[in-house]
A and B are shown apart, each in its own frame.
Chain A
Amino acid sequence: MAVIKIENLTHVYSQGTPFEKVAVSNVNLEIEQGEFVGVIGHTGSGKSTLIQHINGLVAPTSGKIYIDGQDLWQDKVQRHAIRFKVGLVFQYPEYQLFEQTIYDDIAFGPKNMGLDEQEIDKRVRRAAEFVGLTADMMEKSPFELSGGQKRRVAIAGVLAMEPKVLILDEPTAGLDPKGRDMILGQIKEYHETVKSTILLVSHSMEDVARFATKALVMNHSKMFMYDTVENVFAHASEIEKMGLSVPQISKVVMGLRAKGYDIPANIHTVEGAKQAILKLAQQGGMTNA
């Protein structure tokens, strides 16, 4: 059974005013447990609105959302419980830190879940370890940290709730390449260890190609496609028409294909391209064009 099921979801902001805007239009989607989904799309394509629906923060104008088969908007008590199943890390999550110590901040979510002290402690330490925070940092104030560290604390705050579905809205925005790789690596590791479902909103096609198993493309508030990363990037030219980029290696593959080299279109990693080109070379296919 799909862990997230979305039926005919439409969301309109400021309905009935001059500022009316359709943010999400008639989206149908099913995401299986354990999937690592890269969500891509232009600024304003409805990505953020879509993911906020999954957590029940935004009410659909029409349509239904099921988490684990339960209708999210059926009743309020249930929604509160479902919310713990879907962890949402917002853009620039460091701005939501508020506690006196890092430990307390990470423990905020688990405390709200009503867990006992021991379990909270266990989860906080595990989450802190996942994002690479050392034990001696736990009693510091979150406001003393650098930007990248703050972000990791904020992400740990959501990880500590151990949600079945983890949604991250551009977790690497504004970080340097090293910080970016670190956070993405940690998310990947979390995914592999916990086997949870992950939705990663990103502007970097490289990151999506490297980490995600599936990609969800939003365009003009509609879902353009939801498929495996290979199949999505095989539509490289359409994606580029939307004003999105594709991984550089996809461009290389596209270029080679255009020149008549016979390699598959759905290659999106450097490693995959290397294999394909080597294979072609062995068959003597690199000399003819």
Chain B
Amino acid sequence: MLKDITLGQYFPGKSFIHKMDSRMKIIITMLYIIMLFTANNIVSLFGATALLFLFYIVAKIPVKMITKSLKPVMPIIVFTALLNMLFMGGEPIFEIDFIKITELGILMAVLMCVRIVALIAGTSLLTYTTSPIALTDAIEALLKPLNKINVPVHELAMMMTIALRFIPTLIEETEKIMNAQKARGADMETGGLMQRARALVPILIPLFVSAFRRADELALAMECRCYRGGEGRTRMKQLKMSSRDGVALVFMIVLFAAVLAGNVQAVRMGMPTL
């Protein structure tokens, strides 16, 4: 059902990674992404992926969550793999008509897939271990310098917070409305494209009406509590870096260095690279 959409699904916990400062988690995730794209050979990439499993174990997130987060990007992975496999040069090991599969092609396909899987799984780990609110707080803090060039950072972060906050509410509401209309015999599962599109009307109209009503009420509630934008606003929960975050950063930098060294070594040994 709708609830199964993994949209920054937060898995509450008390692990090392859960307790890290959300700003540091974002920084490390970004470093990890860059690292994945610098790692260009089989050893570095598999090393980076193996470490990801380690992170998942440390964070106590069930590893099967990876497969869940991969589901929506599966077509992209398959497509990339096919492209790499079919259009890479080299000595064919298998040939029918125009389809030439080379050893290099297979290797590249595997590497590309590993890279995408690690990318998705890595970023998912961030959202599994960080509550959406902590995440937007961190984004606000990290983007603060942009305030100087008149980017309304606080407002953007507030919008994100509200949007994130209301995703589950709206999903729940959608489900309620869907159930109510289904109880009145609305049929949403059969029929052609036009029929299905028309079947959405009884859901979308009440949903919009209620979304506007909620927005109105929320705006009023915020004004009643004297909300006037970010200026001079303090926080109840201050973001604080601890030694834990330092350790994590150092670990990540060491890892990055190892990957770079691995890259150099791979070129020297003449390993195939991406």
Contact = CB atoms under 8 A, between A and B. Distances in A.
Chains A and B come from one and the same complex: yes
Nearest to A81: B185
A98 B183 contact: no
A80 B187 contact: yes
Contacts of A57: 179, 182-183
B182 A93 contact: no
Interface of A: 14, 18, 52, 55, 57, 80, 83-84, 87-88, 90, 93, 95-98, 108-109, 112-113, 143, 157-158, 161
Given A80-B187, A108-B202, A112-B185, A143 B209 contact: yes
Given A18-B11, A90-B179, A161 B184 contact: yes
Contacts of B12: 18
B206 A97 contact: yes
B205 A98 contact: yes
Nearest to B184: A109
Given A57-B179, A93-B180, A96-B180, A113 B202 contact: no
Interface string B91-122: 00000000000000000000000000000000
Nearest to B65: A17
A153 to B, nearest CB: 12
A83 B210 contact: no
Interface of B (DSSP majority class): helix
Given A88-B180, A90-B180, A109-B185, 11 more contacts: A14-B3, A18-B12, A57-B179, A90-B179, A95-B173, A96-B180, A108-B184, A113-B185, A143-B209, A157-B184, A158-B183
Interface string B180-209: 111111110000000000000111011001
B209 A87 contact: no
Contact of B176 (A14, A90, A109): A90
* 6 closest cross-chain pairs (CB), A and B: A112-B185, A98-B205, A109-B184, A96-B180, A88-B183, A57-B179
Contacts of A14: 3
A206 to B, nearest CB: 27
A84 B202 CA distance: 18
B177 interface: yes
Nearest to B201: A98
20 contacts: A57-B179, A57-B182, A80-B187, A84-B185, A87-B183, A88-B180, A90-B180, A95-B173, A95-B206, A95-B210, A96-B177, A96-B202, A96-B206, A97-B206, A98-B201, A98-B203, A108-B181, A112-B184, A158-B183, A158-B184
A55 B11 CA distance: 32
A83 B184 CA distance: 8
Interface string B11-44: 1100000000000000000000000000000000
B209 A83 contact: no
Contacts of B205: 98
Which of B11, B12, B182, B186 neighbours the largest number of chain A CB atoms within 10 Å of its CB?
B182
Which of B3, B176, B184, B206 neighbours the largest number of chain A CB atoms within 10 Å of its CB?
B184
A55 B185 CA distance: 11
Nearest to A158: B184
B217 to A, nearest CB: 13
B108 to A, nearest CB: 36
A108 B3 CA distance: 27
Contacts of A96: 177, 180-181, 184, 202, 206
